[in-house]
Amino acid sequence: AQSKGENDAMKTDVTQEQIQSYQENGFLIIEDFLTPDELETWRDAVDEAITGRGKTKLAGREEDDRWQAGDSYYDNVFVQRINLWQDSEAVRKLMLDPQLGKMIATLAGVDGIRIWHDQALIKQPWANPTGWHLDNPYWSFHSPNAISIWVALDDATLQNGCLYYLPGTHKSATYDNVGIGQNMGDIFRVYPQWAKITAAPAVMKAGSCGLHNGLIAHGAGANMTPGWRRAMTCAYMPDGATFNGKRNVLPDRIVERLQIGDPIEDDSQNPLIYHPTKPIVTA
């Protein structure tokens, strides 16, 4: 039985089969994750938050040139805006939903889950492809249970740059990575054993979502259409994960206090959105 009824709320109840599929393959697609009404709410919240942010990619980094949109190859892959939950009340409400947090923790197989960062990814018309890469090696913590959600706000098709996954690669990945650069095949120099794996395209209707492990190899094609392809994503960190020395998206005020091996647990930056016993942060 579904707790909220099939047609009136996002599909956050996952089955044992879905959990096993996620653990085995490193990714899971949930069709029609959002209801049509929820999809409109997410689109409006994200569009408004992006407009409010201007050209600054990361919340609180208006003065930092590293986080300004420019003309690099990567800036022509997509418009990205990070940690919209920190400066948009509407996005905060979506990202801090404990039902969503519970689903993420269940799939990842962990007790508690924190937001690492959210990220709006808007693939412009005729945008460049995104090379094969792993997510977690970029981040300030290493965990085999890191996980991200990717919610399609527009249809993601083979033509407009949908995601592709290399199934099962999370099991043999190390923290060696490549830059999200121009060479689609760079990852196979690091992991030659993956070169024969058949890629799985993540074609999604608007309102569907994909979830993927932080160590699975994934990339996306070019947008070969004159239309935009919007997605709202969020990366999650298991509660208890520890600092590995990389700054990534962490602000100075937090990095200055952390030693390697310290837990990353400042709720103002990485809110605990689900835990069976600890107090959580709500919108």
Q: Is residue 196 domain-resident?
A: yes
Residue 229 lies in a domain: yes
Return d(Cα 149, Cα 135) in angstroms, integer.
Answer: 12
Q: What's the half-sphere exposure (Cβ side, CA atoms, 13 Å) at 174? A: 5
Write out pLDDT tens, residues 208-256.
999 999 999 999 999 999 999 999 999 999 999 999 999 999 999 999 9
CATH code assigned at 251: 2.60.120.620
Residue 91 to residue 51: CA distance in whole angstroms: 13
* pLDDT (mean) for 185-201: 96
Q: Supply the pTM of this predicted model.
A: 0.93
Question: Is 283 domain-assigned?
Answer: no
Instruction: Retrieve residue 2's tokens.
Output: 């579904």
Domain holding 230, by residue range, is 17-274
Q: Number of folded domains in the chain?
A: 1
Share of the chain above pLDDT 70, in %: 90
Tell whether the model's pLDDT for residue 188 goes beyond 60: yes
Sheet of strand 218-220: strand arrangement: 130-133, 218-220, 163-165, 200-202
**Residue-wise pLDDT tens digits, 146-159:** 999 999 999 999 99
Task: Residue 164: name the closest of 5, 2, 52, 29 by CA.
Answer: 29
Q: Is residue 241 part of a domain?
A: yes
* pLDDT value for 251: 96
**246 lies in some domain:** yes
pLDDT tens profile 92-115: 999 999 999 999 999 999 999 999
